[in-house]
Structure formats: structure tokens, C-alpha cells
Amino acid sequence: MTTGTQDALAKTLGTQFEFTNSIFGRTTEGVDHARSLESPAAGGNCMNWVAGHIVRTRNSLLDLLGAERIWSPEEGAAYDRGSEGLRDGSSPKDFAAIRDAMERSHERTRAAIAALTPEQLLAPLPEDRNPFQVDNLGEMIAVAAFHESYHVGQLGILRRTLGLPGVIK
């Protein structure tokens, strides 16, 4: 991979996170903590859990990128995949704090992706850090961007279930 190709790939991956970060901010804007805990009538996770889960998984990506986490594993445990989604009596984080953590994680993610070398992008991942069995770090970053897009879309639906207007027109 040439430096130009690496720069283009890092820019593309960074752009994906720019978009999800922007939509995350717009979608969660104006939602207070109490409303963030309202679950949809048909079941599923509340906005607080989905937003916290995005930050939680950003922490995993920051680890892979060699950047500092926003939350410790213990701080993010209530937002882990497979958790009870705050229905188990877990204490939810304040929604404003989740929004702030997302913004801080975005700055770290953007800087870490921009600093990657071609060798780092192509480096295989340790098996215990490769749940999707992708070939290298670059592919894992792409998977993380997809994962985040999926959940940001859920935030948009949850916003509408709260009776708030959509943010993408």
C-alpha cells in the first residue's frame, strides 16, 4: 500500500466516523436524561443504552488504535453487547455525559486513524481481539464504522418514538 493509498483509506475511514458523529450529535440533541431512558413500546433498548453502547464500542476501537479510552471497561459494562440494556438495575450514565464522552472519543478516534501507517492498517489482529474474523486492522475499523452507523440509525428511530422530529430531512 502506498502512502497515497494509505492517506486515502485513512481519510475514507475518518469520513465515515465524521458522519456518524455528526448524526449522533444532532439525533441526541434536545433529549434530556429522563427521556433517554424511555424504552420503545414494542421493547428494545432505550436511547441511553444505544448511545452508551456506541461510546462503549468506541472504547474498544480506541484500544485497537493504541489511543486512550474514554471509559474504563467497568464504566462501560452496562452498555456491553448482551447486557440487560439497563433493565437489570444498572445505573445509567447521565445522558449529557454520554454525549460529551462521544465527542471526546471522536477527537481521539479521528487523530488515531489519521496517524495510522500502511503497515498498521494491514496488520493482522490477535485472535482474541478479532470477533468478526477480518484480515487486518483496516477492515476492523471499517466494521466499527458500520456498527456505529447501524446504532446511530437506531437513535434516529428512537428519537421519533419520543415524538421528536427527525434530523435528516
pLDDT tens track for 47-89: 999 999 999 999 999 999 999 999 999 999 889 887 765 765 6
Q: When comparing pLDDT for 1 and 31, which is higher?
A: 31
What pLDDT is stored for residue 3 in this prediction? 66
Q: Which amino acid is it at 56? A: R
User: How far apart, in whole angstroms, are the C-alpha atoms of residue 19 and residue 16?
Assistant: 5
How many other C-beta atoms are found inside a 10 Å radius of the C-beta of residue 99?
Answer: 18
Q: What's the residue count for the chain? A: 169
pLDDT digits (tens, 9 = 90+) for 2-58: 667 667 777 888 899 999 999 999 999 999 999 999 988 777 889 999 999 999 999
Q: Which domains does the chain have, with CATH numbers?
A: 3-31+43-82+92-161 (1.20.120)
- Return phi, psi of residue 106, to 5°: -65, -45
Helices 137-161, 47-64: crossing angle, 10 deg rounding: 170
For 155, the grid coordinates are 437513535
Q: Which three cell numbers stand for residue 140?
A: 476492523
- Which pTM value belongs to this model? 0.91
Q: Which of 18, 14, 16, 26 is nearest to 51 (CA)?
A: 26
